[in-house]
Structures are given as C-alpha cells and as structure tokens.
C-alpha cells in the first residue's frame, strides 16, 4: 500500500472523497442560513446548547476558543453530560427570560440529550419554546427529538443525515453555536477550505506536502509498534480542540485489535509536569503532534526583587518568551525518543482552528484508507446504547 502506486491510489481516493462527501462539501455552502437562524437569539443573554459527543464538542471547541481569546465568559454554554448536580448548576445560572435553547441530536434518540432537555422542560414550564428554542436533528420518522420539539412548537432544523456527529463541526451543528458565541465563522470555514485546496490543486502526491506528511504518519501507525497519538497543544485556547480531536480519532480509528490508534491530549506547559516523564521514559509506542504559535501576547518583562539561580534566568524575560523556550525544549527532547510532527502557526485564531479541524478530517480518512478500516462507523458502542434502554425499563 505504501508503494508509489499505492500512495497515488490513496491520493486520488482522498480527492474523490473531498469532492463527494458532504462533510467536505459543506464548507462551500452559503452561510446566510446560519446567520438567519442566529437572529432568533439576538435578545438572549445566554444560549444553552444541549447535546453530547459530536453534537457539542465541535461547537464548544470554537466557542470556548473565542471566549478565551477575547478574555470573556462565553455567551454559549453546553450541557453535555447526565451529571445531575452540574446540569442543575448550569440551569440555575441561567435566567429563562433571557436564555435561548438549542438541542442537538443527529439521530434524535440520544438518551442524554433527551433526558437533559426533558428535565429542562420540567424546570421551565412557561418557557417560550416557539420563539427562543430550536432543535437540530434528522427529519426522520419516529425521531424522538423532532416529535418532542414539535409538540412544544419549536423550530426544527435539519441535520444532514450524511454528516456524522464527529464530522459535523462545519455544518449548522458547529457553526450556529460558534456564531452565537461571537466566532467569525467565515474565517473558520476559510481555514478549512485552505486544507482542501492544497489537496485538490496538487497534481501528484509529491506536489502536496500536507498529504505526504500524512503518508509518513500513516506509515508510522501501520507498522504496528506505535499505536498512540499524543496531541500536545501549547495554548489553553486549544484545550477543547484536544477533546474534539480525541473523539474524532477514537471513533474513526479505534476499530479492531489489529489496528487502532489511541489519542491522548496534552496541554503545554501544564502536562509537561504531569505526563512528560511518561512520554520520555515510558513505552516507545507514541507519535506526537505538537501545535505551537510564534507570536505571544505582550506582558511585562520581569525584574525579580531577589536574586537566585532560576530567577536570574527569568530576569528581563516575558511569559511569552518562557513559553517559546518550553516549546523548543520539549520538542527537542521528544524528537530524541519518538516521531514528532510540529504544526507551527504565526498566531492562533478562528482560521487556524478551522485549518486544524479540517486537517484532522483529512488525516483520519487517509490513515483509515491505508489501514483498511471504515472511519465513519462506530459499531462497538451500539450494544451499550441498547443496554441503557433495557436498564431504564428495569427501573419501572
């Protein structure tokens, strides 16, 4: 498969997928519909998004990135888990008179989302569901979320059935919460388009360094000795990108005992103090992607009042300069132990995030093709979903 002919075959396959699959074609869509949907929430101080997994992780990644980048509390908050105490705390922090609600479930059968939304309905009996709430779901028959939403007079927005949850960030599922959270969604989409154009405009695999890098990564994983992918991001703004990445890789490439990739997210510099020993001294079964930026915010140069060994190294330096030194040092020591890819950007912004997320799409689909696995299904979790319903019935 990694012969020149095999690489060319996978390259042409990737091009055909980009042209055919809605997860890619959606970035060419007119965004005016998303802007129209956002009008419903213009008067809302907060928007509560109820969803889990792929229905929330992409939008949450974009929203929280932007909130941290601007140094403010996010307008859009996400209810994702059936942790009763946390959910009640979220709801109690919202005023129903100026809060909007978005409920997302592709299938319409997600127990967590249906339970959280149903609980909210019990708590907010008099909420104005027709004017300040909407549901995003497939327009299929026997769709629980659609049936419930329509019974409340809510607008129901179609979730494209050809776009799986973990691949939905560039659809209304990800971009509507992002827009409501102040994200420049046009910039996000442009970043994604840059990735696809690099592939589509290249005549051969060798003309596309983005693709040849993924080929090299695929070779590393297909050898079988390395089966963990550590994503180390040097910015707190990318923490939720790491969570989104973990779901994408886990569900797309965790398919069999013969081939699977376990994603691990790490946040620099915090996890240098919690995981770096394992990375450097533990099993040599890891591939590292390190995401860094050149530009750093301005902060004062420090002039410590005392003199001591480490303080003298810090004297006259800034937080940003220390961050850059940590990045360089960690990359240098990791390269002595394991294969490392460095993704360096001038700065982190909405376009950067769109680029990173689409790069991850292209990467998992290409690796899956080389490995001979289906990146779009998740058969192993179906039994657990079935058992949940059985256990619920036993509680009656």
Whether residues 53 and 148 fall in one domain:
yes
Asked whether residue 382 is domain-assigned, the answer is no
Asked whether residue 297 is domain-assigned, the answer is yes
Asked whether residue 245 is domain-assigned, the answer is yes
> Do 290 and 279 touch, CB atoms closer than 8 A?
no
Give me the torsion for CA of 251, 180, 91, 43, rounded to 10°: -160
Asked whether residue 96 is domain-assigned, the answer is yes
What range defines the domain where residue 247 resides?
A: 208-371
Whether residues 287 and 361 fall in one domain:
yes
Asked whether residue 68 is domain-assigned, the answer is yes
> Do 341 and 288 touch, CB atoms closer than 8 A?
yes
What is the distance between the terminal CA atoms of the chain, rounded to a whole angstrom? 54
Whether residues 176 and 246 fall in one domain:
no
Query: For strand 286-293 and strand 99-104, is the pairing parallel, antiparallel, or unpaired?
Result: unpaired
**Mean pLDDT computed over 88-103:** 96
Whether residues 177 and 43 fall in one domain:
yes
CATH code of the domain containing 366: 3.40.50.10490
Whether residues 170 and 222 fall in one domain:
no
Whether residues 242 and 302 fall in one domain:
yes
Number of domains in the chain: 2
Whether residues 96 and 220 fall in one domain:
no
pLDDT recorded at residue 16: 97
What pTM does this model have?
Answer: 0.94
Closest CA to 53 of 105, 101, 103: 105
Task: Compute the distance between CA of residue 241 and CA of residue 394 in angstroms, rounded to an integer.
Answer: 38
Query: Across all residues in the chain, what is the average pLDDT?
Result: 94
- 269 preceded by a cis bond (ω within 30 of 0): yes
Whether residues 54 and 123 fall in one domain:
yes
- Confidence label for 195 from pLDDT (cuts 50, 70 and 90): very high
pLDDT tens figures, 207-230: 999 999 999 999 999 998 999 999
Calculate the alpha carbon distances from 339 to 196, 293, 333 in Å: 25, 20, 11
Of the candidates 183, 199, 234, which is a domain's last residue? 183
Whether residues 89 and 232 fall in one domain:
no
Task: Reduce the DSSP state of residue 253 to 3 states and report it.
Answer: helix
> Do 10 and 369 touch, CB atoms closer than 8 A?
yes
pLDDT recorded at residue 256: 83
pLDDT recorded at residue 381: 81
Whether residues 48 and 144 fall in one domain:
yes
Task: Compute the distance between CA of residue 227 and CA of residue 249 in angstroms, rounded to an integer.
Answer: 12
Question: Residues near 118 by Cβ (< 8 Å), separated by ≥ 6?
Answer: 148
Task: Reduce the DSSP state of residue 67 to 3 states and report it.
Answer: helix
pLDDT recorded at residue 10: 96
User: What single DSSP character describes residue 177?
Assistant: H
> Do 77 and 218 touch, CB atoms closer than 8 A?
no
pLDDT recorded at residue 340: 97
pLDDT tens figures, 243-252: 999 999 999 9
> Do 87 and 116 touch, CB atoms closer than 8 A?
yes
Calculate the alpha carbon distances from 103 to 48, 180, 205 in Å: 8, 14, 42
Whether residues 245 and 311 fall in one domain:
yes
Asked whether residue 101 is domain-assigned, the answer is yes
Task: Reduce the DSSP state of residue 311 to 3 states and report it.
Answer: helix
Task: Compute the distance between CA of residue 264 and CA of residue 271 in angstroms, rounded to an integer.
Answer: 11
Task: Reduce the DSSP state of residue 355 to 3 states and report it.
Answer: helix
Whether the pLDDT of residue 204 is over 90: the answer is: yes
> Do 360 and 243 touch, CB atoms closer than 8 A?
no
Lateral strand order in the sheet of 46-50: 76-79, 46-50, 99-104, 133-137, 155-158
Asked whether residue 379 is domain-assigned, the answer is no
**Mean pLDDT computed over 9-22:** 97
pLDDT tens figures, 342-396: 999 999 999 999 999 999 999 999 999 999 999 998 888 888 888 888 888 888 7
Of the candidates 183, 199, 232, which is a domain's last residue? 183
Asked whether residue 293 is domain-assigned, the answer is yes
Whether residues 143 and 237 fall in one domain:
no
Task: Compute the distance between CA of residue 193 and CA of residue 382 in angstroms, rounded to an integer.
Answer: 33
């Amino acid at each position: 498969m990694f012969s020149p002919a095999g690489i060319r075959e996978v390259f042409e396959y990737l091009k055909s997928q980009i042209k055919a699959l809605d997860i890619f074609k959606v970035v060419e869509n007119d965004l005016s519909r998303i802007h129209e949907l956002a009008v419903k929430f213009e008067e809302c101080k907060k928007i509560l998004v109820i969803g889990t997994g792929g229905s929330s992780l992409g939008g949450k990644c974009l929203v929280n990135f932007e909130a941290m980048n601007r140094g403010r509390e996010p307008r859009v908050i996400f209810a994702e888990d059936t942790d009763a105490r946390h959910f009640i705390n979220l709801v109690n922090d919202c005023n129903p008179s100026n809060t909007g609600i978005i409920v997302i479930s592709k299938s319409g059968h997600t127990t967590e989302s249906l339970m959280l939304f149903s609980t909210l309905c019990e708590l907010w009996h008099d909420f104005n569901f027709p004017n300040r709430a909407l549901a995003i779901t497939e327009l299929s028959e026997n769709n629980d979320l659609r049936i419930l939403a329509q019974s409340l007079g809510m607008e129901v927005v179609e979730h494209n059935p050809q776009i799986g949850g973990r691949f939905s960030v560039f659809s209304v599922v990800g971009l509507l919460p992002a827009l409501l959270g102040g994200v420049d969604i046009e910039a996000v989409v442009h970043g994604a388009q840059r990735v696809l154009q690099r592939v589509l405009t290249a005549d051969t695999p060798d003309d596309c360094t983005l693709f040849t890098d993924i080929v090299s990564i695929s070779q590393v994983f297909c050898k079988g000795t390395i089966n963990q992918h550590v994503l180390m991001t040097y910015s707190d703004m990318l923490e939720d990108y790491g969570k989104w990445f973990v779901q994408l890789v886990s569900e797309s490439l965790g398919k069999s005992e013969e081939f699977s990739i376990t994603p691990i997210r790490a946040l620099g510099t915090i996890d240098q103090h919690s995981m770096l020993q394992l990375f450097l001294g533990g099993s040599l079964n890891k591939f590292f992607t390190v995401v860094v930026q050149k530009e750093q915010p301005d902060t004062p140069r420090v002039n410590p009042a005392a003199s001591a060994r480490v303080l003298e190294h810090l004297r006259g330096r800034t937080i940003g300069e220390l961050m850059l030194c940590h990045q360089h040092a960690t990359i240098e020591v990791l390269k002595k132990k394991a294969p490392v890819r460095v993704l360096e950007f001038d700065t982190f912004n909405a376009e950067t995030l769109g680029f990173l997320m689409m790069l991850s799409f292209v990467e998992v689909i290409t690796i899956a093709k080389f490995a001979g696995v289906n990146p779009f299904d998740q058969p192993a979790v179906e039994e657990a979903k079935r058992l949940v319903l059985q256990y619920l019935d036993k509680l009656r």
